[in-house]
Structure formats: structure tokens, C-alpha cells
């Protein structure tokens, strides 16, 4: 909470040529909310059953699933943004994704 001051802010100076302050409502910073903190369940992939079809990746609203072909852990999830919605588990044609209780976060 900003404390109200009794004086109005100082008149802004024109500033240097290279940096300038834009006037009015404008967003200039590309930001990411830590939506991973929302989830209460998380997707667990049975890698041995995964056919790397990519259906999970196509339907993930947050696009946090990556298919990595040349490794055992063929589905990689960006945990900082996975909301635990469960769509990946629901659409997987092999049924190889299960939603499990979000465990102790410190372990990740």
C-alpha cells in the first residue's frame, strides 16, 4: 500500500535522449506468472508406454509439454507453469499419463 504524501510528485524532467518514459497505460515487460504454484495434482507419464505422438503437447493450454525423442524421459514438463489441469491425461490415446497428488514441492 502506497502511503499518500502531502505533496504532489515532482514535475518529471525530460530525461536523456536514449531513455524516456512513455506516457499513459502501456505494458513493456513480457511477464510470466508462476502458475505452477496453483496445482494440486500433477501429470505422471509412463514413458515406456508413450508413443511420442504429441497429442498431449498439442492440447496443453499452457504449452508446458515438450516431446524429446531421443531420451527415455520422452515427455518433459515445465513444472513452473503446469497448472495440473489434467487435459494431457484425458487426451492421451495410450492412457499413459496419470494425475497424481502433488507431493512435497521441495522434492522438485
Partner 1 sequence: MPTRRVLDGNGAAAEALRLARVRVIAAYPVTPQSPIVERLSSYAADGTLKAKYMRVESEHTAMSCVIGAQLTGVRAGTATSSVGLALMHEVLGVTSGCRVPVVMPVVNRALVSPWSLWCDHQDSMAERDSGWLQFYVENAQEALDTVLMAYRIAEDSQVLTPAMVCLDGFFVSHSPQLVVVPDQEAVDEFLPEYVPANLYLNPKDRLFINGLVPPEDFSEMRYQQKLGFERALEIIPQVQRAFGQKFGRQYEMVETYRSEDADVVLVTLGSMSGTAKHVVNKLRVQDPRVGVVKLGVFRPFPVAELRKALKGKRVVGVLDRSAGLGADGGPLWLEVDSALSGTQTRVVGYVAGLGGRDITETTVGAVFEELLQIRDGARSRPAKPWIDTRDDAMELRKVGESE
Partner 2 sequence: MRLETDTLVSHGVSTCAGCGLELAVRHILEVLGDNTVIVIPPGCAALFSGFGEETALRIPGIQGNLENSAAIAAGIRAGFEVQGREGITVLALAGDGATVDIGLQALSGVFERGDRVLYVCYDNEAYMNTGIQGSGSTPLGARTTTTPGGKDRPRKDMVAIAAAHRIPYVASASVGYIKDLRKKVKKAQEAAGPSYIHIHTPCPTGWFYDPARTIEVARLAVQTGVWPLYEIEDGRRRITVSVSRLRPVAEYLRLQGRFDHLDEGNIEEIQGQVTASYQSLLRECEQ
DSSP assignment string, 33-51: --GGGG-SEEEEE-TTT--
Closest distance between partner 1 and the C-beta of residue 18, in Å?
Answer: 15
Closest distance between partner 2 and the C-beta of residue 51, in Å?
Answer: 18
Dig out the grid coordinates for 16 from the structure.
536523456
Task: Number of residues interacting with partner 1: please give it, by CB under 8 A.
Answer: 13
Say if residue 77 is exposed, middle or buried (CB neighbours under 10 Å; 0-12, 13-18, 19+). buried
Dig out the grid coordinates for 42 from the structure.
500433477
Closest distance between partner 2 and the C-beta of residue 5, in Å?
Answer: 21
**Is residue 57 a contact point for partner 2 (CB under 8 A)?**
no
Could you list the residues that contact partner 1 (CB under 8 A)? 2, 8-9, 11-12, 14, 22-28
Amino acid at each position: 500500500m502506497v502511503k499518500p504524501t502531502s505533496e504532489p510528485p515532482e514535475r518529471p524532467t525530460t530525461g536523456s535522449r536514449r531513455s524516456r518514459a512513455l506516457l499513459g497505460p502501456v505494458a513493456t515487460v513480457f511477464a510470466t506468472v508462476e502458475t505452477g504454484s496453483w496445482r494440486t495434482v500433477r501429470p505422471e507419464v509412463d514413458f515406456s508406454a508413450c508413443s511420442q505422438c504429441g497429442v498431449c503437447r498439442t492440447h496443453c493450454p499452457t504449452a508446458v509439454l515438450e516431446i524429446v525423442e531421443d531420451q527415455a524421459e520422452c515427455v518433459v514438463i515445465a513444472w513452473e507453469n503446469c497448472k495440473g489441469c489434467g487435459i494431457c491425461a484425458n487426451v492421451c490415446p495410450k492412457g499413459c499419463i496419470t494425475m497424481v497428488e502433488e507431493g512435497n514441492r521441495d522434492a522438485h
